[in-house]
Amino acid sequence: MLERVLEIEHGRIVRDRTTILQNIHLNMVPGEFLYLIGKTGAGKSSLIKALYGEWPWADGKVQVAGFNLIGLPRNKVHRLRRQLGIIFQDFLLLREKTVYENLDFVLRSTGWTSRKKRTERIARVLDETQLSAYGFRYPAELSGGEQQRLAIARALLNEPRLLLADEPAGNLDPQTSDEITKLIRNLARHHHTAVLFATHDYRLIERFPSPILHCTDGTITRVDRLPY
């Protein structure tokens, strides 16, 4: 039996004294790919923020990549995030740094002291995301799809156990959205990384089927098909 990367029982998320999600039951194992869907404001981003330690959990059992998130001290959140890869809709790249420098900044910030090892790791993730020829370009010189590939490369740097993707194709045209979704799925499968992929684009789910989690009525339900 595979060790669970994510295990939640009776999880509850509260923000400003308002319960956002409650009675959450969710398990994920290495290599599993789950879509997370729901209307705007249903709690998709809230769940992702709580999983990477941005928001606290009110109660329940919440284990993520070996960390107990109930009462996790703020000074240990950075350790949790080293086990996670996070991809945002808006890329959040460092505009004044080149592609290479964006990645090197993350590695130096997470304890990679050897320049040689950093260079080797950056070369690996750039190759995996088809960006090997773009190392000395700046984000503004890249297309939207290339910027998201860079964001994916950044998320993979520390070989995460769990990849959290919050609308990663939300700002892209349909063809590029397909390419980015396919890339994330293939890389996750290759690295045996679990992926929670939040999206409002049902077309992607139809093209690349996987199990679905539906955020609705203040909780999360696993469903067999899209709720048309």
pLDDT, tens digit (0-9, with 9 covering 90-100), for 46-94: 999 999 999 999 999 999 999 999 989 999 999 999 999 999 888 889 9
Asked whether the predicted pLDDT for residue 3 surpasses 90, the reply is no
Q: What's 90's DSSP letter? A: T
Q: What is the pLDDT of residues 7-61, one digit of tens each?
A: 999 999 999 889 999 999 999 999 999 999 999 889 999 999 999 999 999 999 9
Q: How distant, in Å, are the alpha carbons of 1, 68, 140 from that of 35?
A: 23, 23, 30
Binned at pLDDT 50, 70 and 90, residue 2 comes out as low
Task: List, by residue range, all CATH 3.40.50.300 domains of the chain.
Answer: 1-83+161-228
- To which H or E segment does residue 195 belong? strand 194-198
Q: Which amino acid is at 91?
A: F
Q: What is the pLDDT of residues 138-167, one digit of tens each?
A: 999 999 999 999 999 999 999 999 999 999
Looking at the DSSP assignment, which residues form a beta bridge with residue 19? 14
The domain 1-83+161-228 is classified under which CATH number: 3.40.50.510, 3.30.565.10, 1.10.443.10, 3.40.50.300? 3.40.50.300
Asked whether the predicted pLDDT for residue 171 surpasses 90, the reply is no
Residue spans of alpha helices (H) in 110-164: 115-128, 144-156
